[in-house]
Structure formats: structure tokens, C-alpha cells
Amino acid sequence: MSTPFNETPKLTPIGQIGEQGLIRLLTQNIRNSQPGTLLGTGDDAAVLELPVGEQLVVSTDSLAEGVHFDLTYTPLKHLGYKAVVVAISDILAMRARPSQLTVSLAISAKYTVESMEEFYRGLLTACEQYGVDLVGGDVTASAGGLFISMTALGSVAPGQWVKRSTAKAGELLCVTGDLGSAFVGLNLLEREKRVFREHPEVQPDFGDNDYLLQRQLRPEARLDMLETFDRLQINPTAMIDLSDGLGRDLESLCRASGVGCKLYEDKLPIDPKTMSQAMEFNLDPTLCVLSGGEDYELLFTLPAADYDKVKSHPDITVVGHLTDASEGMYLISKGGSAMELKDRMFVPEA
């Protein structure tokens, strides 16, 4: 029976059912779909089997309340979904296919059983969306806030995984999707949070910026690019997911590979909504792309001979090329001037 709108729903303290009771409640409806999941949740460890002839890829990510997310404006269901995306994006950046996940939570006393059920609803929705099994994890108490640790597993054919350290001078720099939108969406949320603190009676006004909010609160991982690479018959020579902004992640790739780069400002894929909202905030859209982060698109390199294969693809943009390390890392502005890519160029956190 639904609760009348003028009554506050009764919430259950986690202590009332205990950590083990919470684990049983949250995992009771998990259904595995991966043939390699021989044993999932419910035992001391999961038992997995790799596809024949493939190799295991593993990545771990952590999200801390107050550092990586703000529950003032982040619905717990969205947070659960995003936690999965953050975890499997690293697997995809290796050109591997994600298959299983574990999640460990440190939860403070302010959370209720119902709030954790909401988090798990988002988490399991993402698992279903990406065909990933949740096979284990842990729940413990936290002195303050919520801490999330995700471990993602995937598989790839032997020798087919892609590193960030194998790019070469002369190769193309490519990105998927559009960039900077998650950061502008974060600025929009932070603006409305400040308004709410000063005027609690005022309703949030996000205009027609649903796309920007979704890119921040409920991003998507680029699982589709695995099929795209195969269909276009291209093999990225190096790859990294864009979690820290194009400038920082490009620098990481270049330093790991021992190369320089030329990145062209007029080639950066920026959605019109991102462009207009950034300008309303007096933010340079290019700097939002360089340092905004959390787009979870892919940055990858290709041999120059593959240009014709990707030049007309609607979801891949060639944004520059690699050079010898001695030539440095530069952004070529729309006016043609070269600006060295350095941290001092980057916009601060929202």
C-alpha cells in the first residue's frame, strides 16, 4: 500500500537488520547472465571461468562521498548506476569486455536500509544494461559518509588488450562522443545547490539542460565501441578513458608512450548545449573539455593510414596527432597559436 503524500515513509535503520541482513536483502534478487559466472554472491568468494582462450582484465575504482559525489543533488539510484559505469569504463579502455563486478560499501549511520536498496536498484540496472554480473562484495560501517569500492573484471583475446603506453609519433588522436558536458552539468548542479542554500523555498531551475545533467549524474560507458572498432576494422594502438579531462588524460597517454602531441581546438567535439551553458557560466568551453572530467568517453590513437576509416564516423572525431616527445604537448588554438598543455591551463573543480 502506498504512503499518503502528507506522511513521511517509515525508514529502517541499518542497525535494525545488521550488516549481514543488509547484504542478504540487497543480493537476494541478483540473477547472473554471464556463462563464466559459476558461483556468484552468497559464498566466501565467487567462482569464475574465463571464456576459452581469453585473458583476465581487472580494475578497481573508489568513490568517496564529499569527494566524488554530493548527495545534495545525486540520487542514490543514479549513483549506483554511475558506480558501475566508472568501473567498467577502465575495462573498456583496455579493449576488453566487462563481465563481472564486486562492490564493497562503507556506510555511515545516516543511511537507511531503504536508501541502500535504492543504490542497489541503480547498480543492478547498470549491470543489466551492460551485461555484467554482480558476483560479490562487502558491507561495513563507516565513521562518516558513504565509501564505494568497485572491482570490475573482463576478458580479452590474448595479446589484443590495448595499453596507454604503446602510441607512436605520427599517429592520429581520436575521441568518442562529445566532451565537457559532464563538467558543465556539474556546474549547473552546483549553482542550484548554492541557490537552495540561500533560498530553500526556491525550486531548482535547470532549464532544458537534461542532457548535461544526465552526462554528470548518469553517464554511459562506451561498450558499443568494441563492436564499432571491429566493424570499421581499426585497431587502436593506445587507449585511455576520459575520466579526468582530455588535457590530463592526454598528458597521461603521451607520457606513458613517450610522445608529444598537437591537439586542435577547432576539432574538439562540443555539444551545442555544453557550449551555450558554459558561456552562460563565463567558462571557456575548451577548458571545460581539457579538465572537466567524468565524460567517460574514450581517447585512442590510430595509424595515420586509418584516417579514411574514421573521418566520417558520427561518433569518432580526429582531434590531433602525436609527435616526437621533443616537440612537447600543445593545443593549437582556433587562431593558429600553439599553447603548451600544462596544469595551469586547466579550470578548477566546480
CA dist., res. 115 & res. 119, Å (int): 6
Q: How high is the pLDDT of residue 1?
A: 38
CA dist., res. 339 & res. 333, Å (int): 7
CA dist., res. 15 & res. 111, Å (int): 10
CA dist., res. 293 & res. 183, Å (int): 6
* Grid cell for residue 347: 579550470
CA dist., res. 141 & res. 84, Å (int): 21
Q: Are 112 and 14 in contact (CB under 8 A)?
A: yes
- The pTM of the full predicted model, rounded to 2 decimals, is 0.93
- Phi/psi of residue 111, each to 5°? -85, 150
CA dist., res. 154 & res. 98, Å (int): 4
* Grid cell for residue 239: 587507449
CA dihedral 112, 116, 121, 126 (to 10 degrees): 150
Residues of the chain with pLDDT below 70 are: 1-9, 343-350
Longest dimension (CA), the chain: 69
What is the per-residue pLDDT across 6-50, written as a single tens digit (0 to 9) for each? 455 688 988 889 888 888 888 888 889 999 999 999 888 999 999
What is the per-residue pLDDT across 137-152, written as a single tens digit (0 to 9) for each? 999 999 989 999 999 9
CA dist., res. 291 & res. 284, Å (int): 11
Check: CATH 3.40.50.720 for 14-156? no
Q: Are 264 and 335 in contact (CB under 8 A)?
A: no
Start and end residues for every CATH 3.30.1330.10 domain found in the chain:
14-156
Collapse the DSSP code of 196 into the 3-class scheme (helix H, G, I; strand E, B; otherwise coil) and give the result. helix
Q: How high is the pLDDT of residue 135?
A: 97
CA dihedral 63, 287, 283, 266 (to 10 degrees): -130
> What CATH number does domain 172-345 carry, 3.90.650.10, 3.40.50.1370, 3.30.70.120, 3.40.50.1100?
3.90.650.10
Residues 6+ apart with CB under 8 A from 191: 281
Partner residues linked to 317 by β-bridges: 175
Q: Are 308 and 234 in contact (CB under 8 A)?
A: no
CA dist., res. 59 & res. 91, Å (int): 7
Partner residues linked to 147 by β-bridges: 64, 106
Q: Are 243 and 293 in contact (CB under 8 A)?
A: yes
Which position has the grid cell 609519433?
Answer: 169
Q: What angle do CA 52, 53, 57 make, to 5 degrees?
A: 100
* Grid cell for residue 304: 595515420
Residues 6+ apart with CB under 8 A from 143: 108
CA dist., res. 226 & res. 230, Å (int): 7
Start and end residues for every CATH 3.90.650.10 domain found in the chain:
172-345
